[in-house]
Structure 1
Amino acid sequence: MVDASAPPPVHDGLEFWQFMIAGSIAGSVEHMAMFPVDTLKTRMQAITSATKTSSLTLRQSLGSIVKFEGLGGLYRGIAAMGLGAGPAHAVYFSVYESCKKILAAGNPNSPIAHAASGVCATVASDAVLTPMDVVKQRLQLKGSPYKGVCDCVKRIMVEEGFGAFYASYRTTVVMNAPFTAVHFATYEAAKRGLMGVSGGGGEEEEEEESLVVHAAAGGVAGALAAAVTTPLDVVKTQLQCQGVCGCDRLSSSSILDVVGMIKKKDGYGGLMRGWVPRMLFHAPAAAICWSTYEAVKSFFH
């Protein structure tokens, strides 16, 4: 039986580059596996108020894409995410582990240290991922005018300038800071709780059990964090897709101004558009990401 009262090691004893590789692999696997669900979320959030958003369900959105665009429509923009997810998650996990080593030195079970480390990690990783996220979301839109990643990057640079790639960065950080704080604190707490109730066994059985624990804890953390931060994700999508495929061109990048515009046109329900696919994305995505990350760390050990 695992002793739940025994504190886990503050740091895993790996080198900085090993955390980067583990995080890069985990992030890439996570986003590639769940990309179709992310496409559905983007389509539901980017619809203008001229369309009856309240009547659009997840099933209708999926049916429309498959019918008119084929299965390939669910994967449009995946190359952009592939280019951004690896480097961003390498930064994400390496910064998290480094900050956790420093902040949790006196108390390895401190949820505050885990949350603060997560916030530091997301601020750094979002600076890497945001430009490719803009490209990815614009390619995911119905009737996207861009031929591919290179064409999208080139046209944004020429037509809107470099700043367009970071128009949503502030919103992304404001969204992902609480998302990551909730995510990491919930993950660490759930992992300790699940390890405390797991039973002992042979070495192979314990290894399999450990992967299940990481996946379950990651799934719980992802679902909770996704539900809490959906309104800000809607704001981010509006900022990144403005002026493309019928999405409104925004006069301000202020979060409060965009929230006010969404409320005026769609009511409070507009701020929760796409919450179902967002939760359906983040719960399994977090489970995949954390179990992959821990498995790669075990490999390095």
Structure 2
Amino acid sequence: MAQEEIDYESLPPNAGLSVNMLAGALAGISEHAVMYPVDSIKTRMQVFTTSPVAVYSGVGNAVTRISSTEGVRALWRGVWSVILGAGPAHAVHFGTLEAVKELLGGNEAGNQWVATSIAGASATTAADALMNPFDVIKQRMQVHKSEFRSVFTCARTVYQTEGLGAFYVSYPTTLAISIPFNAIQYTIYEHLKRMINPTHEYSPSSHMISGAGAGAVAAAVTTPLDVAKTMLQTRGTSHDPEIRNVRGMSDAFRIIWNRDGFRGFSRGLTPRVLTTVPSSALCWLSYEFFKAAIRTD
């Protein structure tokens, strides 16, 4: 029995990819669904607006004002977009992650940080190509006074009014966030996991602690890029001509700097970290659990 616990990560070759992809899909849905309301607050805090009603001083203030003016359900608006996209995207993410890590020797003894960093970057490049349109829809539905109540209505409207490019205008910025985010997160996660749990036994607490620590660092470092991404993905809902015509990451950075200086790049930092810490802990806990539970002996 002890040997079984020690070797739970050693998946047989004929089952590894399918198990990793299924575990990743289940982990992704769990992660995004649980923390979605805080993510909605993060999006609203990052959007540049002239409406005083849509300006929040903090997470608590946002919850109170949104709940009292729009109802608690507004915090969940658009959740089906991430549920529909998160499963397939995380399946691709974790399948690629484990495959590249194995290919580059990342499962060998020692701290294989180069292999794990490359594996993390490769995984997010593939997953974000699938997830980006769903993320655009999600943020269009999260903003203050969003006209959309249906994922499919939102997708159809964005396509008809702005074209297919609207779903991918933020993809370069998304990659600029996700590649360092996942490289940092996965490298720190693997390092912490090896340090906290050197026997490689199935240990939920070590997966949660490692995931939370890795997520916090990665979220904080990449917040400035996330502010730019939000501007690009919600530009079609803005009444500000300059924001509505923003074309790429450099345009977004210029607007943020001109309007808010350094402070503008930290918009939504607190809810982003608050979202990422538990969601990252839950994601890695779920992933390791599902990987162990559904593996084929």
Matched, 1:288 2:282: yes
Q: 1:171 deviation in Å?
A: 0.2
1-side partners of 2:100 and 2:35: how far apart? 28
**Deviation by residue 1:132-154 (Cα, 9 ceiling, x = unmatched):** 00000000111001231111011
2-side partners of 1:57 and 1:115: how far apart? 33
Q: Partner amino acid for 2:230?
A: T
Q: Partner amino acid for 1:163?
A: G
Q: Retained in 1: the 8 A contact 2:106–2:115?
A: no
- Who is 1:27 aligned against? 28
1-side partners of 2:253 and 2:231: how far apart? 10
1:86-125 matched pairs, under 5 angstroms: 86-104=87-105, 107-108=108-109, 109-125=111-127
Choose which of 242, 258, 261 in structure 2 pairs with 1:264. 258
TM-score where L is the length of structure 2: 0.90
- Who is 1:203 aligned against? none
Q: Retained in 2: the 8 A contact 1:220–1:283?
A: yes
Q: Structure 1 residues 250 and 25, CA, compared in 2 at 3 Å: closer, same or farther?
A: same
2-side partners of 1:72 and 1:10: how far apart? 39
1-side partners of 2:107 and 2:30: how far apart? 34
Q: Retained in 1: the 8 A contact 2:78–2:149?
A: no
- Who is 1:127 aligned against? 129
- Who is 2:232 aligned against? 239
**Range that drifts further, 258-267 or 240-249:** 240-249
Q: Structure 1 residues 106 and 134, CA, compared in 2 at 3 Å: closer, same or farther?
A: closer
2-side partners of 1:263 and 1:53: how far apart? 20
Matched, 1:276 2:270: yes
**Any gaps of 5 or more consecutive residues in structure 1?**
201-205
- Who is 1:213 aligned against? 206
2-side partners of 1:153 and 1:90: how far apart? 23
- Helix, strand or coil for the counterpart of 2:251? helix
* Percent of residue pairs identical: 38
Q: Partner amino acid for 1:116?
A: I
2-side partners of 1:64 and 1:12: how far apart? 49
2-side partners of 1:177 and 1:277: how far apart? 21
Q: Structure 1 residues 143 and 250, CA, compared in 2 at 3 Å: closer, same or farther?
A: closer
- Who is 2:156 aligned against? 154
1-side partners of 2:180 and 2:104: how far apart? 18
- Who is 2:249 aligned against? 255
Matched, 1:175 2:177: yes
Please give the root-mean-square deviation of Cα atoms over the aligned residues, in Å. Answer: 2.4
**Any gaps of 5 or more consecutive residues in structure 2?**
none
Q: Partner amino acid for 1:280?
A: L
- Helix, strand or coil for the counterpart of 1:167? coil
Q: 1:215 deviation in Å?
A: 0.7
1-side partners of 2:51 and 2:69: how far apart? 21
Q: 1:51 deviation in Å?
A: 4.9
Q: 1:245 deviation in Å?
A: 4.8
Q: Structure 1 residues 9 and 29, CA, compared in 2 at 3 Å: closer, same or farther?
A: closer
1-side partners of 2:173 and 2:50: how far apart? 21
Q: Partner amino acid for 2:16?
A: E
